[in-house]
Each structure stands twice: as C-alpha cells, then as structure tokens.
Amino acid sequence: MTLVALPAWAQLPTSESKSSTSDLAKKSNPVQTGAISLGVAPDARGGSMGDVGVATEPDENSQYWNPAKYAFAYSRGGISVNYTPWLRKIVADINLAYVSGYWKFGYYDNQAISASLRYFSLGEVEVWNSQGQMEHVIDPFEMALDLGYSRQLSENFSMGVVMRYIHSSMTYADNDNEPANTWAADIAAYYTAYPQIGYSECQWAWGLNLSNVGGKISYDGNATSQFLPCNLRLGTSFTFPLDDYNLLSINYDANKLLVPTFPQTWQFESEDDPALVEARQKYYDMSGIKGLFKSFNDAPGGQKEELHEINWGIGLEYTYDRNFFLRAGYHHEHELKGDRKYFTFGGGIVLNVFHIDAGYVLSTAQTSALDQTLRFSLGFDLEGLRDMLGTSGRRRR
C-alpha cells in the first residue's frame, strides 16, 4: 500500500474544491468526522441485514448496535470474535477485528455487564516527501475499548450505558501530528413485547442508541480538532412464526450523524475569505456536546439537507429451528451525503455452544470500494460452555 496518510476526517469525500462548478459538486456535502472506523459495522449478522441491529434479537455483538439489549438476552453470557477484510477492492491490508461479550447477573438475571475491543488497521503506509523520496513506513490504526452496563427497568423495557476509550494513531506526513486519545459514551434503550396475532405469538421491539457522545479528537496538539462520529440510531423489529420451526423477522434502522457541517469553500467568496477562516475556527473550537445540538439545523441546504443526512437500512432474517439462519438487507445513503448504497446477504449456523456467521456486501455501483466486502463472526454461548465443562469436570472426579 503506497500512500501519504491523511487524518481520518480528511479521508472522507468532500466538495470543498472550487474547481468543480457543477451543481452536484457544490451541493455534495458529506458529514466529516474523526475516528471514522467507529461507524463500520463489525459483525456478520448486522452487516448482512443492511447494517441493521438496534432492535433485533439480542446477541453477543449488541454492544455496537444497542447495549440495552443485553438485559433481555436468552443466554446468561456470550462472547463473539469478528473479522472484516475492509475495502479489499482497493488494498489488501486494511482489516477490522472486533471482540465483544457480556455476562448477566442479579437475582432475576435482569442486569448485564459487557465489554468490547475494536481494532482497525490501515496496514503499512509508505510516507513520501515532496521530492518523491520515501521517508519511512508507518502502521496507522484506530482502536476503541468499551465497558457497558444494562438493566431491565420493567418487564418490557431496559436501558444501557457504555463508556469508551478511543485511540487513533493516524500519524501522517507532517511530523508535527501525533496520535489522538479521547473518551465517549453511549446511551441506549430497548423495548420488547409479544403481541398475539391470530393464534401466533409474535415479537415486536424498538430500540434507540445514542453513541459516541463526548469529546473531540485532535491530531495536532489541539490546534484543530474533529468531531467523533456521534450517531443517533432508531429502529424497530417485528418477528412472527411461520410455523413451529420457522421464524421470519423484518428489521429497520435509521441513523443520523449528530455532527455539525464543516464550512465549505463554495459557501464563501474564496479560500482566503475572512468569514470562512472565522467559521472554521468556530467549528474547531466548538465542543462535542454543542455540536450535537447544532447538527439538527446547521446544514446549508436547510431542513431538506438535514433529512438527506439520515441513512437507513432494512433487513430480513429467516430462522429454522433456532439453528439455521438466512439474511438479506439493503442500506441507503443519500448521494449528496456519501452515496453508500448496497445490498447485503448472509447466513449462520448454530453448532452446540458456538455459532458461525458470514455476511457479504454487493454494492449498487461496481466501482464502490465497499463492493464484495466479507464479514465473519464466531460466537460462543458462555453459559452453555460453562455447563458443558462443569459436567465433564464432575465426570473426571
């Protein structure tokens, strides 16, 4: 991989260049953030249903989608290991590894603690100077370590919180830049009910996850700073039995990045316009919490552009005998806000105390870097594993 690495926020597509005069280029305005890897879905199940998961049935990877779901998990504990070769149509050494797990406790098993570790590697990056000479090779990466707690507050409702430490080592050509560290938090809610439709007991759920709320991240000693990908995720899920062995669930998520719009050159007279310099300085000085509230009404195109910032996904999951799964979905992002549109497919199988899942992305544009992305997940039922080992231990005695 031969590149001069850039800070994470600068790797997003922008329309800042004055050289483009088309209306589309002027209006194209993706939301810019630092630590962009935090927004990459880490697991094969959610990734194969259109990047959906805030209200789906709880599993080991709920830490990313909605940690409040852990309080309603069927098993007392679980852990999952996930791996995604990312952007393989461009380079061969970008990877996302993710480990997540939980354990329930309390008299009624109505509480849970959870944790996860995310590691996103950009592989080896060669840094070249202006004379075309390679100076050195760097290994940029981002990581996040989470610790969460969730609790049932009623028979149908739970809430959860997560604290997250974020480290972003995106050092690039300018030697003045340095690794960045910050903290963030998630606040989540989950509601589930079992309505009776005809002779069938169905499951309906909704979820909310406000993630990455906290400070900003800086790669240059706070001379400039970028917002974290603070995100509001809302969704619902409906599961109904086809018969005694077959289930089908329909799931929908909507997301909005709660990040203010970065001032673009085309909004002002020129790159040297004092008003532009002042607007960008205010952007860098703005706190993460203030930016969260400002993000609802600061888009240059007004509320119409704010609505364009909402991306959504819809996913289906078919289950046979709770042991075999088939999944499909679609994810949509407006063309002026990133234009990520893709179909997803996947499946899974349960084998005793562990399960294997795989997911596949098929972009609507063959030129998309996300096309043909694969995800793999391996999950373990810790309660079942403990019981199995405990039984074998008694036999040895």
**Cβ(12)–Cβ(36) below 8 Å:** yes
Give the integer Cα–Cα distance in Å for 105 and 127. Answer: 50
Which residues pair with residue 352 across a beta bridge?
Answer: none
Contact present, 45 and 357 (Cβ < 8 Å) = yes
Distance CA 385, CA 393 (A): 12
Percent of residues, the chain, with pLDDT higher than 70? 89
**What does each C-alpha distance from 172 to 38, 59, 128, 134, 332 come to in angstroms?**
20, 38, 10, 13, 32
Burial environment of residue 129 by CB neighbours within 10 A (0 to 12, 13 to 18, 19 or more): exposed
Query: What's the CATH code of the domain at 336?
Result: 2.40.160.40
Total tally of structural domains belonging to the chain: 1
| Residue 260 CA: distances (Å) to CA of 234, 279, 286 | 20, 12, 9
Residue 353 has pLDDT above 80, yes or no: yes
Decide if 321 is inside a domain: yes
Give the mean model confidence (pLDDT) for residues 305-327.
96
pLDDT mean over 38-46: 96
| Whole-number pLDDT of residue 394 | 39
* HSE-up of residue 290 (Cα within 13 Å, Cβ side): 6
175 pLDDT exceeds 60?
Answer: no
- Indicate the SS3 state at residue 314: strand
- Does a structural domain hold residue 360? yes
Whether residue 84 lies inside any domain: the answer is yes
Calpha distance 232→157 (Å, rounded): 19
Going by pLDDT thresholds of 50, 70 and 90, the confidence category of residue 307 is: very high
pLDDT at residue 362 tops 90: yes
What's the rounded Cα separation, in Å, for the pair 352 and 227?
43
Query: Which residue has tokens 């289950």?
Result: 319
Mean pLDDT of 373-386: 92
Q: CA-CA distance, 188 to 69, in Å (whole number)? A: 9
**Contact call for residues 342 and 368 (beta carbons, < 8 A):** yes
CB 264 within 8 A of CB 230: no
Q: Is the pLDDT of residue 178 over 60?
A: yes
pLDDT digits (tens, 9 = 90+) for 254-303: 999 999 988 877 777 778 788 888 888 888 889 999 999 999 998 888 88
State both tokens at 325: 């799964």
- Could you read off the pLDDT of 83-118 as tens digits, one per residue? 999 887 777 889 999 999 999 998 889 999 999 999
Q: Is residue 17 over pLDDT 50?
A: no
Check residue 190 and give its pLDDT.
98
Q: Using an 8 Å Cβ cutoff, are 101 and 60 in contact? A: yes
For residue 379, give the amino acid letter: G
Longest dimension (CA), the chain: 82
Q: Name the pairing type of β-strands 141-152 and 342-351.
A: unpaired
C-alpha separations of 278 from 221, 229, 275, 295, 356 in Å: 20, 23, 5, 18, 52
When the pLDDT of each residue in the chain is averaged and rounded to a whole number, the result is 87
Domain extent, residue 164, equals 8-396
**Residue 370, token pair as written in the block:** 């996300």
The answer to the question of residue 225 being in a domain is yes
Q: Is the pTM of this model over 0.85?
A: yes
Position 1 in a domain: no
- Quick check: is 3 in a domain? no
Q: Is residue 58, in this structure, part of any structural domain at all?
A: yes
Cβ-count burial of 107 within 10 angstroms (0-12 exposed, 13-18 middle, 19+ buried)?
exposed
User: How far is Cα 148 from Cα 126, in angstroms, rounded to an integer?
Assistant: 37
Q: Is residue 2 part of a domain?
A: no
pLDDT at residue 277, as a whole number: 83
Residue 89 near residue 369, CB atoms below 8 Å = yes
- How large is the average pLDDT for residues 64-86? 96
As a whole number, mean pLDDT of residues 163-187 equals 82
Give me the pLDDT at residue 46, please: 97
Mean pLDDT for 355-375 is 89
From CA 144, how far away is CA 96, in angstroms rounded?
12
For residues 318-333, give the mean pLDDT: 97
Placement of tokens 């290991």 in the chain: 81
Tokens standing for residue 180? 């960045």
* Banded model confidence at residue 18, pLDDT cuts 50, 70, 90: very low
What per-residue confidence (pLDDT) applies to 8?
36
pLDDT at 371 over 80: yes
